[in-house]
Amino acid sequence: MLEIKNLHTNVDGREILKGLDLTLPTGEVHAIMGPNGSGKSTLAYVLAGNEDYEVTEGSIAWDGKDLTEMDPTERAVAGVFLAFQYPMEIPGVATMTFLRSAVNALRKARGEEELSTPDFLRLVKQKAKGLKIDIEMLRRPLNVGFSGGEKKRNEILQMTLLEPEICVLDETDSGLDIDALRIVADGVNALRTKKRSMLVITHYQRLLNYIVPDKVHVMADGRIARSGGPELALELEKSGYAEFGGKATAA
C-alpha cells in the first residue's frame, strides 16, 4: 500500500503540493485528474524522486518504507516506475542498449542474474510484439525521432520489462491518436495484477474508458479536492474543472 500524508513540495522555492493525502491500496488502479497547474505532474516527479522537487513536509510510505529517503535509482529498484509525459531523447544511446542496461541494472540490484544478450533479445521481441513495436525502432537512438505514439509505447515497453510494483503514468494519453491510445491502454491493462498498483494521471476522461480505474481523485491547488468512483470522471467530462479552479470548459 502506498500512503501519502500531508505532502508539501517546493519547486524552485514555490510551493506546488500543499498537503496532499492519498492512499493507493496494493493491486488498485487510481486515476488522478485535475486542471492544468493543479500539481499532477509534480506528484509524479516527487514519487519518482526528482531532486528538483523538494519535499518540505509530509511523508510517502510504501509497505512501511519511506520513499522520500531514497534516490531515484533506489526507488526504481524498490519497484517504482514513472512513465514520463515527455520521454527524454538521448542521441547516441541505442534504445536496445538502454533497455538492456536498465533491465540488468535492476536484476543486479535485486540480486538476480543478469540476462544474456540472446535471452534479453528474446524477451524484448516478445514484449514489443504486444505493443506493436517494430524491433527496428529499438535499434534507433533512444526516443530520437520517435513519434508521440512511439515514445509512449516505448515507455510502456519499459514498464513491461522492468515489472514495477507501483506504476505512475503521467499523461500517457497526451499526444496519442485513438489507435495509439488503444495499444497503450491494452499494454497497461495487461500489467494489471493483484500485486501491482497504478496511478494514472490524466487531464481527460477519454483514457479512463480504456483503463478503468478503481477510484478517481481530483486534484486542485496541490491537494486532493474530491475522490470517488469511475463515475466521477464522467461527471467531470460534463461539468469541466471550473469548480476546481480550472477553466469553465468541459474537460
With CA atoms as reference, report the closest residue to 199 among 86, 106, 81, 87: 81
Candidate ranges 31-39, 65-73, 192-200, 207-215; the one touching other proteins (CB under 8 A): 65-73
Residue 162 makes contact with other proteins by CB under 8 A: yes
| b/e 217-232 (16+ beta carbons within 10 angstroms → b) | bbbbebbbbbeeeeeb
- What type of residue is 88? M
Q: What are the DSSP calls for 17-79, one per residue?
A: EEEEEEEE-TT-EEEEE--TTSSHHHHHHHHHT-TTEEEEEEEEEETTEEGGGS-HHHHHHHT
Element at 98 (helix H, strand E) = helix 95-109
Among 4, 29, 84, 85, binds other proteins (CB under 8 A): 84
Please report how close the Cβ of residue 132 comes to other proteins at its closest, in angstroms. 22
- How is residue 213 written as a grid cell? 480505474
Is residue 157 within 8 A of residue 127, CB to CB? The reply is: yes
Report the DSSP beta bridge partners of residue 251: none
Candidate ranges 56-64, 93-101, 200-208, 219-227; the one touching other proteins (CB under 8 A): 93-101
Residue 174 makes contact with other proteins by CB under 8 A: no
Candidate ranges 34-42, 87-95, 195-203, 205-213; the one touching other proteins (CB under 8 A): 87-95
Residue 191 makes contact with other proteins by CB under 8 A: no
Residue 106 makes contact with other proteins by CB under 8 A: yes
Please report how close the Cβ of residue 119 comes to other proteins at its closest, in angstroms. 17
Q: What is the DSSP letter of 115?
A: P
Please report how close the Cβ of residue 82 comes to other proteins at its closest, in angstroms. 6
Among 57, 98, 210, 214, binds other proteins (CB under 8 A): 98
Please report how close the Cβ of residue 131 comes to other proteins at its closest, in angstroms. 17
With CA atoms as reference, report the closest residue to 90 among 133, 20, 142: 142
Q: Compute how many residues bind other proteins; rule: CB under 8 A.
A: 30
Residue 49 makes contact with other proteins by CB under 8 A: yes
β pairing state of 166-170 and 197-201: parallel
Residue 187 makes contact with other proteins by CB under 8 A: no
Longest dimension (CA), the chain: 55
Residue 9 makes contact with other proteins by CB under 8 A: no
Please report how close the Cβ of residue 51 comes to other proteins at its closest, in angstroms. 8
| Residues engaged in binding other proteins (CB under 8 A) | 48-52, 71-73, 75-77, 81-82, 84, 87-88, 90-93, 97-98, 101-102, 105-106, 109, 141, 158, 162
